[in-house]
C-alpha cells in the first residue's frame, strides 16, 4: 500500500502553505510534537488552524508566524503555562487573526466534520460574548477562502418554536496530524487511552498523517480489532516516531517531560528566548532521531509509564 513514510517526506507531501490544519491530542497529552517540529523545520506557513484543546504545538507555530487565522477554544500547557505565551503575545499585539468558539462548539464542529454534516446547530454560546463579539470580521473572512463568511448564524429553531439556535460552520480540514501508540503499514491505528478528537479529525480531513510509537504488521493489528481506532482507509501516511509526542504524554508509555515544559514556559516569555529555545530543540537538530539523541536515553527512560498507573511514578521511592 506504500503508506510508510519518513517524517520529512510525510510532512512535505501532505502539509502545504495555506492548509486548514488540525492536530490531535489534548493540551499536554499525545500532541504530535515530532510532526510540529518537522513543519517548523520545513517552513510551511499561512495555516488556518483549529485549536482543539491546544498547547505548545500551536503556540510554537503562532510564535513563528506560521498561522494566518486560528479558531481558538483553549490554549495552554496546563499546569506549566496557563495561557500559552506566544499566542497571548500575538493576540495582544494584533498580529494574529483569532476567532473564539467555546470548546464544546469547536469539538462538535470537528465531530460534525467527521459526520459529513453541512452545518452544526447548537444551543451553546448564547448569552455570552461568544455570540456578541466576532474575532474575525466579515470583511476579513471574505479575504480568506478557507474561512467561512460567518462565525455563525442565529435562526429560529424549526422544531422548537420560540427558541433560537446557533448554526455553526463545519470546518473543511485539509490535513489532520495525530500521534498514536500503534499503527500498521496499511494505516490501521490503535489509540490507547482517551482518543480525544483524533478519530474525528482523521475521518474528516482530506489527508491524515499518523506518527506512531510502533509499527506492527497488518495481520497482528487485526488479531484484536476491539482495540483499534481508525481504519487504514482514513490514513495517508504512517510515520514511525518513537517518543513522537514528547514533551507531551502518551498514555501507558510515557509521561510529560516536566523539565522541558518548564523550560518552554520560561523561554516563551520573550522573543529572544523563544528563538533560542527553537534554535536549540527544533532548528538545531536535523530530525527526530537527533532530537531523541539530544534528550538522551536516561532522560527518556525516566519518563516511562509504570503499568497500573499509565504515567511515570518513581517506584524506587516506594517501600523504602
Partner 1 sequence: MADYTNYTNKEMQAVAIAKSIRNGQVVIVGTGLPLIGASLAKRVYAPKCNLIVESGLMDCSPIEVPRSVGDCRFMAHCSVQWPNVRFIGFEANEWLHDTDRLIAFIGGAQIDPYGNVNSTCIGDYNHPKTRFTGSGGANGISTYSNTIIMMQHEKRRFMDHIDYITSPGWIDGPDGRAKKGLPTNRGPQMVVTDRGILKFDEQSKRMYLAGYYPTSSPEDVAENTGFEIDVSRAVALDAPDPEVIRMIREEIDPGQAFIKVPQ
Q: Give one DSSP letter per residue of 67-78, joined into a string.
A: EEEEEESEE-BT
Q: Smallest distance, Å, CB 123 to partner 1?
A: 7
Q: Smallest distance, Å, CB 205 to partner 1?
A: 16
Complex with partner 1: residue 38 or 59, whichever CB lies closer: 59
* Contact between residue 96 and residue 64 where contact means Cβ atoms under 8 Å apart: no
Q: Smallest distance, Å, CB 80 to partner 1?
A: 7
Q: List phi, psi (to 5°) of 86.
A: -75, -40
Complex with partner 1: residue 43 or 308, whichever CB lies closer: 308
Q: How far is CA 269 from CA 115, 260, 274, 282, in A?
A: 40, 14, 7, 18
Q: Smallest distance, Å, CB 72 to partner 1?
A: 5
Complex with partner 1: residue 108 or 285, whichever CB lies closer: 108
Burial class (CB within 10 angstroms; exposed 0-12, middle 13-18, buried 19+) of 319? exposed
Complex with partner 1: residue 3 or 171, whichever CB lies closer: 171
Quick one: which of 28, 73, 30 has its CA closest to 50?
73
Interface with partner 1 by CB under 8 A: which residues?
25-29, 51, 53, 72-76, 78-80, 82-84, 87-88, 91-92, 94, 100-105, 107-108, 111, 123-130, 132-133, 135, 163-164, 193-197, 199-200, 249, 251, 255-256, 305, 309-311, 313
Complex with partner 1: residue 27 or 184, whichever CB lies closer: 27
Q: Smallest distance, Å, CB 116 to partner 1?
A: 15
* Contact between residue 54 and residue 74 where contact means Cβ atoms under 8 Å apart: yes
Complex with partner 1: residue 11 or 166, whichever CB lies closer: 166
Complex with partner 1: residue 8 or 103, whichever CB lies closer: 103
Residue 52, number of CB atoms within 10 A of its CB: 29
Residue bearing cell 482530506: 206
Q: Smallest distance, Å, CB 298 to partner 1?
A: 21
Q: Smallest distance, Å, CB 210 to partner 1?
A: 17
Q: Smallest distance, Å, CB 5 to partner 1?
A: 27
User: Using CA of residue 49, residue 54, residue 55, residue 57, what is the dihedral sign?
Assistant: negative
Q: Give one DSSP letter per residue of 169-210, joined into a string.
A: EPP--SEEEEEEEEE-TT--EE--S--TTHHHHHHHSSEEEE
User: Using CA of residue 196, residue 25, residue 198, residue 62, what is the dihedral sign?
Assistant: positive
* Secondary structure of residue 244 in the 3-state scheme: coil
How many C-alpha atoms does 236 have within 13 Å on its Cβ side? Answer: 22
Complex with partner 1: residue 3 or 89, whichever CB lies closer: 89
Complex with partner 1: residue 19 or 255, whichever CB lies closer: 255
Alpha helices in the chain (DSSP H): 7-14, 33-42, 56-63, 85-92, 103-115, 129-132, 138-143, 198-204, 218-221, 258-267, 271-278, 288-295, 297-301
Amino acid at each position: 500500500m506504500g503508506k510508510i513514510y519518513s517524517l520529512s517526506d510525510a510532512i512535505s507531501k501532505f502539509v502545504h502553505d495555506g492548509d486548514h490544519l488540525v492536530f490531535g491530542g489534548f493540551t499536554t497529552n499525545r500532541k504530535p510534537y515530532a510532526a510540529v517540529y518537522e513543519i517548523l523545520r520545513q517552513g510551511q506557513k499561512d495555516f488556518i488552524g483549529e485549536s482543539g484543546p491546544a498547547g505548545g504545538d500551536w503556540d510554537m507555530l503562532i510564535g513563528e508566524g506560521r498561522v494566518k487565522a486560528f479558531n481558538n477554544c483553549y490554549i495552554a500547557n496546563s499546569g506549566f503555562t496557563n495561557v500559552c505565551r506566544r499566542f497571548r503575545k500575538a493576540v495582544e499585539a494584533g498580529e494574529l487573526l483569532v476567532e473564539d468558539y467555546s470548546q464544546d462548539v469547536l469539538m462538535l464542529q470537528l465531530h460534525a466534520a467527521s459526520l459529513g454534516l453541512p452545518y452544526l446547530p447548537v444551543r451553546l454560546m448564547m448569552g455570552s460574548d461568544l455570540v456578541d463579539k466576532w474575532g474575525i470580521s466579515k470583511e476579513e473572512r471574505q479575504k480568506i477562502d478557507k474561512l467561512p463568511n460567518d462565525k455563525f448564524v442565529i435562526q429560529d429553531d424549526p422544531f422548537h418554536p420560540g427558541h433560537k439556535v446557533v448554526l455553526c460552520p463545519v470546518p473543511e480540514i485539509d490535513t489532520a496530524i495525530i500521534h498514536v501508540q500503534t499503527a500498521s503499514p496499511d494505516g490501521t491505528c490503535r489509540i490507547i487511552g482517551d482518543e480525544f478528537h483524533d478519530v474525528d479529525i482523521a475521518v474528516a480531513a482530506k489527508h491524515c498523517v499518523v506518527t506512531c510509537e510502533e509499527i506492527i504488521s497488518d495481520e497482528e493489528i487485526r488479531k484484536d480489532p476491539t482495540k483499534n481506532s481508525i481504519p487504514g482507509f482514513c490514513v495517508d501516511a504512517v510515520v514511525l516516531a518513537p517518543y513522537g509526542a514528547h514533551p507531551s504524554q502518551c498514555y501507558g508509555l510515557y509521561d510529560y517531560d516536566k523539565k522541558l515544559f518548564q523550560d518552554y514556559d520560561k523561554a516563551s516569555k520573550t522573543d529572544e528566548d523563544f528563538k533560542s529555545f527553537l534554535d536549540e530543540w527544533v532548528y538545531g537538530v536535523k530530525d527526530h532521531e537527533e532530537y531523541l539523541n539530544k534528550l538522551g536515553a536516561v532522560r527518556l527512560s525516566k519518563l516511562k509509564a509504570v503499568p497500573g498507573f499509565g504515567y511515570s511514578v518513581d517506584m524506587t521511592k516506594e517501600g523504602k
